[in-house]
């Protein structure tokens, strides 16, 4: 279950380095406020989508368009990446920078795979299904909501990749630790938003 | 955190606990199961639409609560303000959704 060990002789990194400094604690708290704002942002996009999801303007409807196996694959990729970022933080708490970098790298790779699937999905819709941004109110709402989430994933990938670079150059310190912790919070939140997207957009779209 | 001193200065020998990966893997397995169940319910078809909507939304909410509680540590001590921030965000988001649906469905 839980392992107990003495910290003496293991370097000077505190147990929860992200909360060791006032700046770190403030960063984490402020990031929660930001995530509350993000929830409002995605809430408005969900509201727009729910209001317009049946306004297909003679274009493809959700039930005709969506291909569930692809969405399921994307879902499991993102879910797995959320777990690997938990492992990254646990490695950070055990003061294992190499393990931490490894888990962050896997997180980035899984996120990139998710994004590749989404880009493939959108390109199929645009090229083969004649389902573009301006096809219908439904298509506009769909691309805005899902695309905004995809943009968040893309931003997260770049962010975490930069943090891996900082870890290599500066090491794991009370300065770099809060940045990594906050990026993991962001990544979990992106996965939480996706849970609502695959449920509300894709599955409920299939149900009707 | 409250009972433990994790200060850098002083170099006092102390012990602390590290949580293992087990419960996070349990949350992961539950999330996978909930996701599989949701996709299976829709893929199999034949499920009453109203029942499916309620089932899917409940399973999504359950998964979100699990992940935010354990993976984002909201269930841990000292997370009152983060919970207030998130609930505030969800409340406004929910208000937007209710407003949009009311506007479209019952104009």
Question: Hey, is A147 helix, strand or coil?
Answer: helix
pLDDT at B10 over 70: no
Give contacts of B107 with chain A, Cβ < 8 Å: none
Give the count of Cβ contacts less than 8 A between chain A and B: 163
Taking residues B4-17, report their average pLDDT: 50
Question: Which pLDDT does position B11 carry in this prediction?
Answer: 44
Task: For residue A123, give how far its alpha carbon lies from the nearest alpha carbon of chain B (Å).
Answer: 23
Instruction: Render each residue's pLDDT in chain A as its tens digit; 208 residues.
Output: 444 444 444 467 898 999 999 999 999 999 999 999 999 999 999 999 999 999 999 999 999 999 999 999 999 999 999 999 999 999 999 999 999 999 999 999 999 999 999 999 999 999 999 999 999 999 999 999 999 999 999 999 999 999 999 999 999 999 999 999 999 999 999 999 999 999 999 999 998 7
Q: Tell me, yes or no, if A73 comes closer than 8 A to chain B by beta carbon.
A: no
Task: For residue A89, give how far its alpha carbon lies from the nearest alpha carbon of chain B (Å).
Answer: 10
Residues B28-57: tens digit of each pLDDT: 999 999 999 999 999 988 778 889 999 999
**Contact check, Cβ <8 Å, A188/B94:** no
A10, part of any domain:
no
pLDDT at B70 over 50: yes
Residues A81-110: tens digit of each pLDDT: 999 999 999 999 999 999 999 999 999 999
Residue B104 CB coordination number (10 Å) = 15
- Chain A 43-62, CB below 8 Å of chain B: which residues? 43-44, 46-48, 50-52
Q: Which residue has the tokens 């003061």?
A: A95
Nearest to A40, CA basis, from A204, A208, A206, A189: A189
Taking residues B77-87, report their average pLDDT: 95
Question: Which pLDDT does position A170 carry in this prediction?
Answer: 95
A57, part of any domain:
no
**Contact check, Cβ <8 Å, A203/B4:** no
A7, part of any domain:
no
| CA A12 centroid distance within chain | 32
Beta pairing partners, B18: A3
Task: For residue A23, give how far its alpha carbon lies from the nearest alpha carbon of chain B (Å).
Answer: 15
Q: Tell me, yes or no, if A40 comes closer than 8 A to chain B by beta carbon.
A: yes
Q: Tell me, yes or no, if B102 comes closer than 8 A to chain A by beta carbon.
A: no
Question: Which pLDDT does position A117 carry in this prediction?
Answer: 98
Interface test with A, best of B4, B13, B58, B60 (most A CBs within 10 A): B60
Q: Report d(CA A87, CA A81) in Å as an integer.
A: 10
pLDDT at B72 over 90: yes
What are the boundaries of each domain within chain B?
2-75, 77-107
**Contact check, Cβ <8 Å, A50/B88:** no
pLDDT at B75 over 70: yes
For the residues of B2-56, what is the DSSP string, one character each?
A: TT----STT----EEEE--SHHHHHHHHHHHHHHHHHHHHHHH--S-HHHHHHHH
Question: Which pLDDT does position A164 carry in this prediction?
Answer: 98
Q: Report d(CA B55, CA B67) in Å as an integer.
A: 18
Query: A118 is in which domain, residue-wise?
Result: 22-46+67-207
Query: How many independent structural domains does chain A possess?
Result: 1
Residues A43-52: tens digit of each pLDDT: 999 999 999 9
Give the mean pLDDT of chain A: 93
Nearest CA in chain A to B56: A199
Nearest to A38, CA basis, from A158, A150, A155, A149: A149
**Contact check, Cβ <8 Å, A51/B60:** no
**Contact check, Cβ <8 Å, B72/A185:** yes
A17, part of any domain:
no
A62, part of any domain:
no
Instruction: Kindly report the pTM of this predicted structure.
Output: 0.90
CATH code assigned at A194? 1.20.120.80
Question: Which pLDDT does position A11 carry in this prediction?
Answer: 60
What band does B14 get if pLDDT is binned at 50, 70 and 90?
low
Task: For residue A171, give how far its alpha carbon lies from the nearest alpha carbon of chain B (Å).
Answer: 16
Q: Tell me, yes or no, if A23 comes closer than 8 A to chain B by beta carbon.
A: no
Considering only CB atoms, B42 lies closest to which of A8, A86, A207, namely A207
A119, part of any domain:
yes
């Amino acid at each position: 279950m839980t392992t107990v060990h003495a910290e003496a002789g293991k370097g000077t990194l505190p147990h929860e380095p992200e909360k060791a400094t006032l700046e770190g604690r403030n960063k984490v708290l402020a990031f929660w406020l930001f995530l509350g704002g993000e929830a409002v942002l995605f809430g408005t996009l969900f509201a727009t989508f729910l209001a317009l999801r049946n306004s297909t303007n003679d274009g493809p409807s959700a039930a005709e368009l969506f291909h569930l196996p692809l969405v399921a694959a994307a879902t499991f990729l993102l879910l797995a990446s959320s777990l690997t970022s938990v492992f990254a933080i646990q490695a950070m708490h055990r003061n294992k920078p190499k393990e931490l970098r490894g888990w962050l790298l896997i997180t980035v790779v899984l996120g990139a795979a998710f994004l590749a699937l989404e880009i493939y999905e959108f390109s199929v819709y645009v090229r083969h299904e004649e389902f573009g941004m301006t096809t219908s109110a439904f298509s506009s709402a769909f691309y805005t909501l899902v695309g905004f989430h995809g943009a968040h994933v893309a931003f997260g990938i770049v962010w975490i990749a930069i943090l891996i670079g900082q870890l290599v150059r500066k090491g794991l310190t009370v300065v770099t630790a809060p940045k990594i912790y906050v990026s993991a919070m962001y990544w979990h939140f992106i996965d939480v938003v996706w849970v609502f997207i695959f449920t509300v957009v894709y599955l409920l779209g299939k149900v009707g | 955190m409250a009972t433990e001193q994790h200060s850098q200065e002083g170099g006092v020998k102390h012990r602390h606990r590290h949580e293992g990966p087990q419960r996070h893997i349990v949350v992961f397995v539950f999330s996978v199961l909930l996701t599989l169940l949701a996709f299976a319910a829709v893929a199999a078809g034949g499920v009453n639409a109203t029942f499916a909507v309620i089932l899917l939304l409940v399973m999504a909410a359950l998964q979100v609560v699990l992940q935010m509680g354990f993976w984002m540590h909201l269930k841990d001590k000292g997370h009152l303000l983060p919970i207030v921030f998130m609930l505030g965000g969800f409340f406004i988001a929910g208000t937007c959704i209710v407003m949009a649906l009311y506007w479209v469905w019952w104009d």
